[in-house]
Structure 1
Amino acid sequence: MKKGELVELTINGYAFEGKGIAKVNTENTENKKFVVFVNGAYPGDKVIAEITKVRKTYAVARVNKLLSFSPHRITPLCKHFGICGGCKQQDLNYEYQLKFKQEQVKDAFERIGAFNYVSVLPIIPSKNVFYYRNKMEFSFSDERWLTESEINSDLEITDKNFSLGLHVPNNFYKVLDVNECYLQSELSNSILNFTRSFFKRKKVLPYSIKNHTGFLRNLVIRQSFHTNDVMVNLVTSNENDQLLIEYTDELKKLFPQITTVVNNISLKKSQVAFGDYEKVFLGSGFIYDKIGDWKFRISSNSFFQTNTLQAETLYNIALEFADLSGNEIVYDLFSGAGTIPIFISKYAKEIFGFESVAPAIDDAVANASLNNVKNFKPIRTDLNKSFIPTLTEQKIPLPDVVITDPPRSGMNHKTIEDILKLSPKKIVYISCNPTTQARDVKLLCKEKYQLTKLQPVDMFPHTYHIECVALLTKIIK
């Protein structure tokens, strides 16, 4: 196979990150099991695929033409599907989205983790499959992605240098104008469309990551599910108080549901949706939401589980796996705004939350106070280095249980080494990436621990992302 070649393939499997699998007989491999991963294809599809990358034992391709359709395909709800980089599986029956996610967790732990006969508990579906997100990050760009109809039109395109929406896949520069998204609420769509029209009317330029000019970087909308709070966070490259006052005034008139407006100012050249500092133009600069019986303060840059309703399910599983009696010392690594420690606080003696981001520590302190939780102490430390010196300095007792919820990249090897030295009775590992989770669990289970349970939870319908909770128990010799 060569890059650019068109090949006819029958898809008979599905890989992590949403790629159909076709197995091909070829003379170039000894075992005759050359694999092609096809973006945009599902099991049961017959396709003409264009090869985009070739390696010794596999190739990557994209669908050029669908010859026959998988019986699991459905008509996507969103008109932007297939162009924007948001949903990847909206044209796949939700029942089969869950089936494939379950299989992918099992595959990751068998293939990457080298665990034989992994028993994966049935995946827990999301309570909502649309309008489930409490946060959306939209990008401004000075390069708008033109639709096929625009390209083929003879009309002059006058606004191709302004867009607000979502990036198209594999393109850091171009953004598709999105005027409806089914992941957040209809109110979010209205705020998005107003924001675009307001700044186009004011002739304010988007930030260019090529030449580092322009004002507008991101629009971040946060909504609570239990308190009806709404935050609009405009990320810009510098300050312009008068413009932000005008924007806020119009927002208030059109959308009285908005409770706070924040301006994050990012001085970085890279395109990231948070600032070096922020200014508040309406309200407190925070919103509040609940998980279970607990209320949480959420700042513009704090981490909070994106699917609020499903987060309660996830945390209940973590609590069940920890099986606390009320006498345990618990460490929560990557503790963010303190949601997990506060959620489990009734069931543990003491909880120490370790986090590297200063604003998250501030949120955790505020949330502990808000909920009158006395047995949780947030501690700032760098989890990319050994955190054991912090334990020694602050005379923190050793843990009975460690709960860890790292970013998609998983845990640093020094963090893994520290956990093994601390030798807790149980480790509850929450992850949004089963491949890095399987890698880390393999290292943790090398000598002291055994993998006891795996529970996938679907937090992100229509995407290939999977949340999974693993229980590791100490081997008693």
Structure 2
Amino acid sequence: MAAAAALSPLSGALLRRRFPFHHRRRLLAVVAVSPEASAPTPTSSLLPPPSSPRKAYFPKRNEILELTCDGLAFKGKGVCKVDGSNFVLLCDGALPGERLLARVSRIRRGAFAEATKLRTLEPHHDAVDAPCPLATDCGGCKTQSLAYAAQIRHKYLQVRELLVNFGKFDPDELESSDPDSILKPIVPCDEIFRYRNKMEFSFGTKRWMQREWKEEKDEGAVKEEKMEGGGYSLGLHAPGFFDKVLHVEKCLLQSEPADKVKTG
């Protein structure tokens, strides 16, 4: 058949393997009337063009990296990236716009990683002084050093991202001025402190402070745990631990009378 002659041996083999006989007849008929049928098809045209391999960045556990925080994720974790890479590292204590030094603590099946903040290199946007002296140690109010208006804005962005990426909503429709649109502005709190009517505290045999990291020339980063005093503590569990209690004298989440009851 003339149409069959127009095909290279490799093309004919692929045609016989992938298509039944009655489908092959239709395809050959199309090739026969095609103006390109008179020209032999080179074998190389069936193969994908060669491409230079791109090595994707993938961090190693315990590697120390300079990161830039782009936004906030669930539970207030900072969404961080290495310069020139799209690989995401979630880091507690990192806030949008901040450049920081962090240690890779866990890798989540190659999709993303978790990192532990070591120190700040450049401060974040919308920075304010945290009103609680234990804000960096406790973990219950991770964004106290971020202006409240910025907290509201990032909460809005989190909801929008969920609706677009998982709900498959059109971004233009979400941000429409139509009063019946799905995504509404976040309603801020009237009182951002002293609003809770219930708190649960734990007792401990030591007073524990959050882990500190110090750089040394030869050994890199060394972890130290600070214990203050040998007496008992009454407060909140240290972040990630159930056997260590951070002593809390006052908590800005509960009412002032509750603070007086706690301290006696």
Q: TM-score range by the shorter chain?
A: 0.5 to 0.7
Per the alignment, residue 54 of structure 1 pairs with 107
- Distance in 1, Cα, partners of 2:118 & 2:200: 30
Per the alignment, residue 240 of structure 2 pairs with 170
Contact kept in structure 2, 1:130 and 1:184, CA below 8 Å: yes
TM-score normalized by structure 2?
A: 0.63
Contact kept in structure 1, 2:71 and 2:154, CA below 8 Å: no
Does residue 1:134 correspond to 2:197, yes or no?
A: yes
Q: Give the greater-gyration-radius structure (CA).
A: 2
Which deviations, in whole Å up to 9, do the C-alpha atoms of 1:259-288 show, x marking residues without a partner?
Answer: xxxxxxxxxxxxxxxxxxxxxxxxxxxxxx
SS at the partner of 1:96? helix
- Distance in 2, Cα, partners of 1:152 & 1:188: 28
Does residue 1:15 correspond to 2:44, yes or no?
A: no
- Distance in 2, Cα, partners of 1:88 & 1:17: 9
Which deviations, in whole Å up to 9, do the C-alpha atoms of 1:450-473 show, x marking residues without a partner?
Answer: xxxxxxxxxxxxxxxxxxxxxxxx
Contact kept in structure 1, 2:138 and 2:210, CA below 8 Å: no
> How far apart are residue 6 of structure 1 and its match?
0.7
Does residue 1:102 correspond to 2:123, yes or no?
A: no
- Alpha-carbon distance change, 124 to 169 in structure 1, aligned in 2, over 3 angstroms: same
> How far apart are residue 111 of structure 1 and its match?
2.4
Contact kept in structure 2, 1:85 and 1:166, CA below 8 Å: no
Count of matched residue pairs: 185
TM-score normalized by structure 1?
A: 0.36
> How far apart are residue 152 of structure 1 and its match?
6.7
- Distance in 1, Cα, partners of 2:256 & 2:165: 41
Counterpart residue type for residue 246 of structure 2? L
Which deviations, in whole Å up to 9, do the C-alpha atoms of 1:329-379 show, x marking residues without a partner?
Answer: xxxxxxxxxxxxxxxxxxxxxxxxxxxxxxxxxxxxxxxxxxxxxxxxxxx
> How far apart are residue 134 of structure 1 and its match?
1.5
Which deviations, in whole Å up to 9, do the C-alpha atoms of 1:180-227 show, x marking residues without a partner?
Answer: 111111111111112xxxxxxxxxxxxxxxxxxxxxxxxxxxxxxxxx
- Distance in 2, Cα, partners of 1:147 & 1:109: 36
- Distance in 1, Cα, partners of 2:207 & 2:167: 42
Per the alignment, residue 115 of structure 1 pairs with 169
- Alpha-carbon distance change, 53 to 140 in structure 1, aligned in 2, over 3 angstroms: same
- Distance in 2, Cα, partners of 1:184 & 1:43: 27
Identical-residue share of aligned pairs (%): 38
> How far apart are residue 131 of structure 1 and its match?
0.8
- Distance in 2, Cα, partners of 1:72 & 1:88: 14
> How far apart are residue 92 of structure 1 and its match?
0.6
Gaps of 5+ in 1: 27-31, 195-477
Does residue 1:124 correspond to 2:187, yes or no?
A: yes
- Alpha-carbon distance change, 189 to 51 in structure 1, aligned in 2, over 3 angstroms: same
- Alpha-carbon distance change, 113 to 142 in structure 1, aligned in 2, over 3 angstroms: farther
- Distance in 2, Cα, partners of 1:147 & 1:105: 31
Gaps of 5+ in 2: 1-58, 175-181, 213-224
SS at the partner of 2:152? helix
Contact kept in structure 2, 1:106 and 1:120, CA below 8 Å: yes
Match of 1:88 among 135, 142, 158: 142
Match of 1:181 among 232, 247, 251: 251
Contact kept in structure 1, 2:206 and 2:230, CA below 8 Å: no
Per the alignment, residue 36 of structure 2 pairs with none
Q: How does 1:209-224 map to 2 (within 5 A)?
A: none
Per the alignment, residue 117 of structure 2 pairs with 63
Contact kept in structure 2, 1:47 and 1:66, CA below 8 Å: yes
Q: Tell me which protein shows more strand as a share of its residues.
A: 1
> How far apart are residue 68 of structure 1 and its match?
0.5
Does residue 1:193 correspond to 2:247, yes or no?
A: no
Match of 1:79 among 117, 133, 140: 133
C-alpha RMSD of matched pairs (Å): 2.6
- Distance in 2, Cα, partners of 1:179 & 1:33: 42
- Alpha-carbon distance change, 25 to 41 in structure 1, aligned in 2, over 3 angstroms: closer
- Distance in 2, Cα, partners of 1:98 & 1:147: 27
